[in-house]
């Protein structure tokens, strides 16, 4: 192995390699790489090779390259062996491979932290070979995380095959634009008991802020008196509510034990859409509405939440709990409660939206056991089927 090859490897350039030679090639590349940048000194290496998990990234589509920076950022935050399965135009029944390193410097003076990335290219006639190519590359005794980024119905056999073996499945499908049927298959607990939607992890901060309203013991009971929920969202396609907003409604419904009623309805409005669903709570049937507007031109074309308003029937009248961004592109969220005894909460907090790499990294770091997600899943799927 030449120095130039090792250099290219460390700089993240893909080194083509025979599928059967991947492990031995990696060994050969890591050795000189470590020596070249300061070693060999076992006590003070200048490169640390880290593998906390096996991360298999499915990207069997034409737009594979777009995911590359996201994978790099995820691997930086969560060092793992990334095995990226990419689609290709190759009509041969074969899989080709390349290896590269993803390195970053955690702190000046500390060794570079490097993980390895193995890219497998599979053309349309080789998809059924992928599972057999991936399995030998999985490091033993480490969590196997499957990050699936295309409609699972397109390659259902492979999805089921890998999904059945993985310890965690992360479904990262477009929002908006993913049919409910794709999510139903992708989140099927019979395939993987720990399957999650990345959109769910975009909600964490909002969930914290909503929960915070009801932390004082005297307000636990308020939750049983909720009689309306309105969510305001932005979406590149405002004709339907984004999944992010659907999950928020489903989470509240699941945690508070609301029962689904009737059939949700989505209506166009002058500025976007209004999606309405009915639920049965302790006080009777009430409405949940998601109002969606178009993302302003100066903002990234991704869905986000603008506000959440919950009302409750209090002993002294209507109580209102509202979170909203002061402007669509603001990283802050304004907190306002119109209810007795509300003296504890700050008026504004910083709560920027998580970008895609952070959502994925958060999903990988989150607990495998997420009961709120499990409770929200059937409700979200029901809502999505009526979008």
Partner 1 sequence: MPEPTNVTESNPLRQALPRARVPEPCAIVLFGSTGDLAHRKLVPALYNLARGGNLPSECAIVGFARRDWTDDDLRADYEQTLSKNGGSDFREIWPQCASRLVFAPGTFDDLDGFRKLKDKLEELDRTHGTRGNRIYYLAVSPEFFSTIIAHLGEAGLIYPWQQETPWSRVVIEKPFGRDLASARALNRDVSRVLEERQVYRIDHYLGKETVQNILAFRFGNSIFEPIWNRRHVAAVQITVAEEVGMAGGRGSYYDTAGAIRDMVQNHMMQLLSLVAMEPPVDLSADAVRNEKVKVLQTLPDWKPDDVSRNVVRAQYTAGSIEGVEVPGYLQEKGVAPDSKTSPYVAIRLMLNTWRWAGVPFFLRTGKRLPKRTTEIAIQFHRPPTELFEAEGDGHSGANQLVMRIQPNEGASLSFEAKIPGSGRRLQEVRMDFRYGTAFAVPPPEAYERLLLDVMLGDPTLFTRTDEVESAWRFITAILDAWQQPGAPPPVTYPAGSWGPVEADELLKADGMNWRRL
Chain contacts with partner 1 (rule: CB under 8 A) = 48, 50, 52, 76-79, 104, 106-107, 110-111, 113, 204, 207-208, 210-212, 214-217, 220, 223, 252, 255-256, 343-352, 367, 369-373
Minimum CB distance to partner 1 smaller for 159 or for 258: 258
- Residues in Cβ contact with 114 at an 8 Å cutoff, skipping those fewer than 6 apart: 10, 33, 47, 48, 49, 50, 101, 102, 103
Minimum CB distance to partner 1 smaller for 118 or for 308: 308
Minimum CB distance to partner 1 smaller for 255 or for 293: 255
Q: How far apart are CA 139 and CA 84, in angstroms?
A: 15
Taking every pair of C-alpha atoms in the chain, what is the biggest distance, in angstroms? Answer: 79
**Would you say 7 and 27 are in contact if contact means Cβ atoms under 8 Å apart?**
no
Q: Give min distance, CB of 190 to partner 1, in A.
A: 22
Q: How far apart are CA 213 and CA 209, in angstroms?
A: 7
Q: Give min distance, CB of 50 to partner 1, in A.
A: 5
DSSP code of residue 345? S
- Residues in Cβ contact with 313 at an 8 Å cutoff, skipping those fewer than 6 apart: 225, 227, 283, 319
Judge residue 328's burial from the number of C-beta atoms within 10 Å of its C-beta, 0-12 exposed, 13-18 middle, 19 or more buried: middle
Q: Is 176 helix (H, G, I), strand (E, B) or coil?
A: coil
Minimum CB distance to partner 1 smaller for 4 or for 367: 367
Minimum CB distance to partner 1 smaller for 138 or for 256: 256
Q: Give min distance, CB of 107 to partner 1, in A.
A: 6
Alpha helices by DSSP H, listed for 51-173, are: 68-77, 130-134, 156-165
Q: Give min distance, CB of 298 to partner 1, in A.
A: 17
* Number of other residues whose CB lies within 10 A of the CB of residue 113: 18
Q: Give min distance, CB of 284 to partner 1, in A.
A: 20
Minimum CB distance to partner 1 smaller for 31 or for 216: 216
Q: Give min distance, CB of 76 to partner 1, in A.
A: 6
Minimum CB distance to partner 1 smaller for 111 or for 163: 111
Residue 86: closest CA among 61, 66, 54: 61
Q: Give min distance, CB of 242 to partner 1, in A.
A: 21
């Amino acid at each position: 192995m030449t120095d130039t090859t090792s250099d290219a490897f460390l700089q993240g350039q893909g080194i083509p390699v025979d599928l059967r030679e991947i492990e031995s090639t990696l060994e050969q590349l890591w050795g000189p790489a470590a020596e070249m940048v300061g070693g060999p000194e076992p006590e003070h290496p200048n490169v640390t090779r880290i593998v906390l998990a096996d991360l298999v990234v499915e990207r069997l589509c034409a737009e594979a390259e777009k995911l590359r920076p996201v994978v790099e950022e995820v691997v930086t935050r969560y060092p793992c062996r990334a095995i990226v399965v990419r689609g290709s135009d190759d009509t041969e029944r074969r899989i080709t491979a390349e290896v590269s390193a993803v390195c970053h410097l955690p702190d000046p003076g500390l060794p570079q932290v490097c993980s390895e990335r193995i890219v497998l290219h599979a053309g349309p006639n080789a998809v059924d070979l992928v599972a057999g190519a991936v399995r030998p590359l999985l490091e033993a005794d480490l969590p196997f995380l499957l990050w699936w980024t295309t409609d699972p119905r397109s390659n259902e056999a492979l999805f089921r095959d890998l999904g059945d073996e993985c310890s965690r499945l992360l479904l990262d499908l477009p929002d908006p634009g993913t049919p409910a049927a794709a999510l139903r298959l992708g989140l099927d607990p019979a395939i993987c008991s720990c399957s999650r939607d990345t959109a769910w992890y975009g909600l964490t901060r909002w969930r914290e802020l909503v929960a915070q309203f009801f932390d004082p013991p005297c307000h636990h009971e308020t939750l049983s008196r909720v009689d309306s929920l309105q969510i305001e969202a932005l979406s590149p396609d405002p004709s339907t509510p984004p999944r992010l907003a659907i999950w928020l409604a489903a989470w509240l419904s699941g945690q508070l034990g609301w029962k689904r009623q009737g059939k949700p309805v989505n209506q166009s409005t002058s500025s976007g859409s209004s999606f309405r669903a009915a639920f049965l709570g302790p006080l009777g049937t009430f409405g949940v509405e998601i109002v969606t507007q178009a993302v302003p031109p100066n903002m990234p074309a991704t869905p986000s939440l603008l506000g959440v308003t919950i009302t409750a029937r209090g002993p002294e009248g209507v109580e209102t709990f509202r979170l909203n961004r002061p402007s669509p592109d603001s990283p802050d969220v304004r907190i306002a409660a119109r209810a007795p005894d509300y003296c504890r909460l700050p008026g504004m907090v910083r709560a920027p939206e998580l970008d895609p790499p952070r959502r994925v990294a958060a999903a990988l770091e989150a607990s495998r056991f997420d009961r709120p997600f499990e409770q929200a899943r059937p409700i979200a799927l029901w809502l999505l089927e009526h979008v």
